[in-house]
Structure 1
């Protein structure tokens, strides 16, 4: 899908709409987040180092996430989260590496505590046939109690980017893979035209808030796992 203006998303704490880059500064100063951190439930776990991650698709920066991850978590926890919210379609292999997709692979059982520090950048690749490449940067850290009992907490994500229109002028909701001739000429259909008889036997894929849309067998749901 063609990129448009920068996507925005809502802060999970106060609801303020920001771009992915603007959200870094906002989350560090958000009064509602500070209040929430001060009221963290002790049942969520003991105090530990917790890292703020900014994650975005390597090629479509319309898609981004801001996560907190516990230092006691592993890269496998992060891999599972990315699969659930963005990537999983057919159980493909994945890996983390340093210095881009040609860098040194990092074991999935690596603990965050032994690896993460502010400024660290990692690459995550899912599916080595029709690859999705994700960039991960540690943009902050804090010492305290996690916000829930899970290893990862979602602080913000992009809203679905503006989608091009169908030939009829209505918003696109489906990709017709059988009508697509190239990556630059994507066939978008509105809900009505996706149900037309001429497309009944075609390979239709829903447009979902994920950089994986249109790849392999991906059909979502692109929901946070918790």
Structure 2
């Protein structure tokens, strides 16, 4: 995994170090233009960072309407990151404890909490931390419940066999031995483990290699 994850700004396309994203968004001219030209009813908008609890190189920086519900967030996370087999999901103040109704408004939750947990699939569970980074008052820049501001740059990893850029994950090794084995095109067949479920193409999702997940990890809008 990359030691210092980076993100891509959805407004201007600039690549930014994860620790500098907040400062970048404050000065991003294209984001400022989107805010200046936004129309509609003003409301509280929450800057939330969705981050894989286990692989922090995966993150999404979102601006979410206070009037949106946790169900809106769940739907987005499923589409861009998680959905594979229609598993159950839930929100909680702490993982596996104190669940929160998905009908709750984002504003009512994050006015009193700085962080909540989202769990998808109670077997091979994907755990996502949702942390409030900031808030502002204004008109939303999109008609949707939320907007993707920054997404992590897809991980660049080397083949286990030859150190060329890898494109595949051996899900057999992941399932049977708990090992993250990534391979290039040339080393794929010699490695073996060629089944209906393995290997899987490397995609930008913390769900990679879990259950039946195979991407494509695209945002819904």
What is the TM-score of this pair, normalised by structure 2? 0.90
- Corresponding residue to 2:157 among 156, 163, 172: 163
Identify the residue that residue 148 of structure 2 maps to in structure 1. 154
| Aligned counterparts of 1:125 and 1:178: Cα–Cα separation in 2 | 24
- Which residue of structure 2 aligns with residue 31 of structure 1? 29
Q: CA distance change for structure 1 residues 166 and 145 in 2, over 3 Å: closer, same or farther? A: same
Q: Is 1:177–2:171 an aligned residue pair?
A: yes
Equivalent residues in 2 for 1:94-133, closer than 5 Å: 94-98=89-93, 100-117=94-111, 120-133=114-127
Cα distance in 1 for partners of 2:191, 2:53 equals 37
Cα displacement string for residues 121-159 of structure 1 (whole angstroms, at most 9, x for unaligned residues): 000010110011001111111111111110010000001
Q: Once structures 1 and 2 are overlaid, which stretch shifts more, 124-133 or 8-17?
A: 8-17
| 1:173-201 C-alpha deviation (Å, 9 max, x unpaired) | 11222345522x33322123435694543
1:1-226 equivalences under 5 Å are 3-40=1-38, 42=39, 45-98=40-93, 100-117=94-111, 120-180=114-174, 181-183=176-178, 185-194=179-188, 198-201=192-195, 203-226=198-221
- CA shift for structure 1 position 72: 1.3
1:90-143 C-alpha deviation (Å, 9 max, x unpaired): 111111111x21331000111113222386100001011001100111111111
Task: Verify the 8 A CA contact 1:118 1:138 in the aligned structure 2.
Answer: no
Aligned residues: CA RMSD: 2.0
- Tell me, in whole angstroms, the C-alpha distance in 2 between the residues paired with 1:4 and 1:34: 30
Question: Displaced runs of 4+ in structure 1, greater than 3 A?
Answer: 192-202
Cα offset, 1:55, TM superposition: 1.4
Q: TM-score, normalised by structure 1?
A: 0.88
